[in-house]
Structure 1
Amino acid sequence: MTPAVLFAFASAIFLGAGVVTAQRGLRTVEPLSGAAISVPCFTVLFLLLSPLILCNEPVVWRGLPIFAAIGLFFPASLTLLTFASNRALGPVVTSTLGNLAPLFAVTLAVLLLHEPLHAHQLVGAVIAVSGAVIITVTRPRDLGSWRSWALLLPLTSALVRGVVPPIVKLGLEVWPSPLWACLIGYIMSSLVVLTVQRLRKGSFAVEGTRSGRLWFAVTGISNGLSALSLFAAVRNGPITLVAPLAAIYPLVTVGLSAIMLKHIAITPRIVAGTLLTVAGVALVLIG
């Protein structure tokens, strides 16, 4: 299970970083345009590297429709929801409510894939999620005014993020290549976000400052590496193990927010939430 654990942690690190860098980009670029930068950016990078990283990866055509269908929703819809939530609620609340994703993922893994769920894993997952929620339970000062309906954005994002891993795992049973799964999904998602950008704005070109576009390019690469790491983790281990570990990304978000956004103070509540999260992860890792 070591590769699955390492890939799950890597996914959490990249995802947590992407939430913060997206917040920087959202200062000058709106969510839709940000998605039209970030998703295609990683897709182009992946395509440029594909002759090197896919040369030994066989093609299984039966799996193509599965990964293409996943790409219509992930990461396209997830990216749009996350960026919109990030702008409305800030990176910390977005990460906190998005952290409910493992509850959906684990439930589907047990019901759909018939994965075993041990008592200590369930307790550990609940504790880890609770710890991440405690870290960010209060409203940050940078939220400004917002409406209750905005909470639906990160909650829907959590649902999408939770549903995707079990479906990806089904696809990987047909075509066991996380690299191809990620590339096909990103190609489809790029087509989706660019089409939406064209329909809404009348042009594929994105308006915004150079720095904003650059931040979204960085966000796209970070989110893409997170998705690729998640697919690799799902390929190498059960979702009941992977989902709770990948859900610790708010720790990264809070840490980087304190450094880059200058509005997070390390309080006893954050320390307590961190300790709970670490304890929960330790329970999940118990064999």
Structure 2
Amino acid sequence: MTDVAGVPFDYMPLILATTASLMFAIGAQWQNIGLATVDGRTGAMVSITAAAATLWLFAPFFMDWHYWLEPAMLIFAAIGLFRPAVSANLAVAGMKFLGPTLVSTLACTSPLFGTVMGVLILGEMFTWPLAIGTGGIMAAVLLLSKRGKVKVDWPFWALFLPIGAAFLRALGHVLSKIGMEAGIPDPYFASIVGFTVSAILTWSVRGVRREPVVVNWRAPGVKWFALGGATTSAAIICLNTGLLRGDLVVIAPIVATSPIFTMLLSALVFRRERLTGKVVIATFIVVGSVIVIALGR
């Protein structure tokens, strides 16, 4: 298949974005298991640290050390200041005020932010097939998020917690692509710098607040959160590789299909939920939307 200029279309960004979405979903399942014995904040700290540690474990084999001297390295460091440290905490805080239903609904704004940033900041082209595909994916995730009555006794400003998390995730995508195109075309390096800064920031904040960092390393949940962090690090590498090779307006909506994979894994693998008609319909909508995006490019 070729694009409008007659140049063969590269399907690899679509494959990488789908893989990243699946890996994010698997990581979420590991972390969900960990919540049985570890609180959310500690679990997030362990997860971020494990992601950074996993990347450093393989650094001697995959990292180009001279990139540390490139100015673009600062872009990846800046990403680490808010993703995933701040974005994850905003999502957790939103869950406290709004509950999981509304938080998951507002999280659907992430591909919308990504698309707008891709067009306005990166100068990417947004076509009708992309609009239809993005809208379909957002509709499918919204369909899954509707699980009953939504809590309404929350302050108005709490809405900006999950929306802020979605915005920061999209901003991280934009900056990652800018940094890789500005002189460091290395998804592995982009990932390791961001996670390292985020891990340092997470531990430092607790130190500044003089909060006791008490982690029961023997608790089973710690191992599950660590596994979730390692899985997330692989997902970020896939995501960054996709961003390097493709457009953000294509990658963002596909990565946003992670809740679909999460639901399917819960029903088919972990047996925590039933495979309902709503899940099946949402899955078909997502598959159709991804096909529209692929054919439209």
Aligning the two structures, in what range does the TM-score lie when normalised by the shorter sequence? 0.7 to 0.9
Task: Give me the whole-angstrom Cα distance separating, in 2, the residues matched to 1:200 and 1:31.
Answer: 18
Aligned to 2:89: 80
Q: In structure 2, what is the Cα distance between the partners aligned to 1:55 and 1:208?
A: 33
Question: Given residue 47 of structure 2, which amino acid in structure 1 is its aligned partner?
Answer: S
Counterpart in 1 of 2:129? 120
1:161 equivalent to 2:161? Answer no
Q: How does 1:223-238 map to 2 (within 5 A)?
A: 223-238=232-247
Residue 37 of structure 1 contacts residue 216 of structure 1 at CA under 8 Å; is this kept in 2? yes
> What amino acid does structure 1 have at the position aligned with 2:119?
V
RMSD: 2.7
Q: Judging changes above 3 Å, is the alpha-carbon distance between structure 1 residues 218 and 92 closer, same or farther for their aligned structure 2 residues?
A: farther
* Bigger proportion of residues as helix: 1
> Quick one: distance in 2 between partners of 1:88 and 1:24?
23
5+ unaligned residues in a row in structure 2: which ranges?
1-9
Distance 1:44 1:61 in 2: 23
CA contact (8 A) 2:105 2:145 kept: yes
**CA shift digits 1:4-40 (9 cap, x unpaired):** 1121011100111222222222233222211221111
SS in 1 for 2:274: coil
Mean Cα deviation higher: 22-31 or 179-188? 22-31
Q: CA deviation at 1:98?
A: 2.2
Judged with a 3 Å threshold, the aligned counterparts in structure 2 of structure 1 residues 158 and 166 are, in CA distance, closer, same or farther, namely same
- 1:100 deviates by 2.4
Deviation at 1:2, TM superposition (A): 2.1
Give the TM-score normalised by the residue count of structure 1: 0.88
Which sections of structure 1, spanning at least 5 residues, go unmatched?
none
Displacement of 1:215 in angstroms is 1.4
Normalising by structure 2, we get a TM-score of 0.85
Aligned to 1:269, which of 260, 266, 278?
278
- The aligned residue for residue 47 of structure 1 is 56
Q: 1:201, CA displacement in angstroms?
A: 5.8
2:31 maps to which residue?
22
Match of 1:186, as an amino acid?
Answer: F
Counterpart-to-counterpart distance in 2, 1:230 and 1:2? 14
Aligned mates of 1:201, 1:259 — CA distance in 2: 43
> Residue 259 of structure 1: CA displacement?
4.8
Match of 2:250 in 1: 241
In structure 2, the CA distance between the partners of 1:67 and 1:159, relative to structure 1 (3 Å rule), is: same
Q: For the pair shown, which has the larger CA radius of gyration, 1 or 2?
A: 2
Give, in whole Å, the separation in 2 of the partners of 1:94 and 1:221. Answer: 25
Give the partner amino acid of 2:34.
Answer: G
Which residue identity lines up with residue 221 of structure 1 in the other structure?
Answer: A
